[in-house]
Amino acid sequence: MTQNNYFSLKFEKDKLIYLDQTKLPLEENYIETEDYNRIAEGIERLEIRGAPLIGVAAAYALALSVKNVKKDLTPVFDEAYNRLRVTRPTAVNLFWAIDELKKVFEANRNADNVYKTLLDHAKEIHKKDEDYCTQMGKNGLSIFKKKSVVLTHCNTGKLATGGNGTAFSVIKTAFENDLVEYVYADETRPLLQGSRLTAFELAKCGIPFSIQSDSSAAVLMKQGKINLVITGADRIALNGDAANKIGTYNLALISYHHNIPFYIAAPSTTIDRNIASGEQIEIEYRDKSELLSINESQITLSEYEAFMPAFDVTPSHLIKGIITEEGVFNFPYNFI
């Protein structure tokens, strides 16, 4: 299988085309739309997911909101902006991207062809994220001291970004440089982003891998089978505390116990420069149906209550290094 026969999203003929990730890996179904509200729903439904990709999609959605509006653009733009803001609360890239578009809109609301101006900026955001992914992959090579077996959590590849990924880009680039021997991918319950999406991308890239239950990671480490752990992040505080998919904190703790380096890869846009620590990160809670069923098939009783945080926060002292497009930063962190 080759990597080039799929894409996460693209903008073509004034429409956003994106891969519905809820159907993967069993079905590769692309959705085509020019409706910003449909894109917002796609983000909420996790058809579009991954912090950087959510930001890219939201930027395109805001541009599309004024595509067919001839006059009095402000109410329409504001409605779209407010709609997109409430789709996912934890990933900072969403808010960064739509705020960037809002600045452009406010500076050009009375200009000719505002739609094209907004669209051009959305394309710039997309291209910048693609470049960031490539650079993160290159920067991440420095963490490999030998050919390694890597464990990762959730999905951080092309399906989560505008480019080749964050942590996945580091893994892929290292594999291409003969620095990755094998990858263990946590299944990432409850929505199985690891066994569905990361496995899909590893197979596309021809990288040897296994998937395992999240609770198997400690056993792999105890058996000496893991050299490095690399994950992504959805929001990073100034002190380096990082929010990522639920289960990441567990992984960082057991990595620390087994003296295995734990790294995060994320673009600089994931650093929230308005918060000092992870205590200020708003955690999204999902509907309990996502835990009580798989692919709409009930696996336990629907009346059971469920604890459903979508993310957890890893304290910065557990993170060996944070890989961005600007370089590799080591603990203690002081992002300004």
By annotation, the residues acting in catalysis are 234
Strand partners, 264: 231, 322
> What is the rounded distance in angstroms from the CA atom of residue 270 to the CA atom of residue 95?
10
Strands (E) in 8-137, as ranges, are 9-12, 15-19, 30-33
Residue carrying the six token digits 């990288």:
207
Distances (CA, A) of 282 to 52, 90, 189, 236: 17, 6, 20, 12
Query: Tokens standing for 17?
Result: 């085309």
CA 104 to chain centre: 25
Q: What is the 3-state secondary structure (H, E, C) of 249-267?
A: HHHHHHHHHCCCCEEEECC
Amino acid at 31: I
Terminal Cα distance for the chain, rounded: 42
> What is the rounded distance in angstroms from the CA atom of residue 95 to the CA atom of residue 271?
12
62: closest CA among 78, 49, 44? 78
Counting runs of H as helices and runs of E as strands, what totals does the chain give?
11, 15
Query: Tokens standing for 243?
Result: 């929010």
CB 181 within 8 Å of CB 149: yes
CB-count burial class (<10 Å; 0-12, 13-18, 19+) for 86? exposed
189: closest CA among 213, 157, 211? 213
> What is the rounded distance in angstroms from the CA atom of residue 33 to the CA atom of residue 248?
34
CB atoms within 10 A of CB 185: 26
Query: Tokens standing for 27?
Result: 């079905």
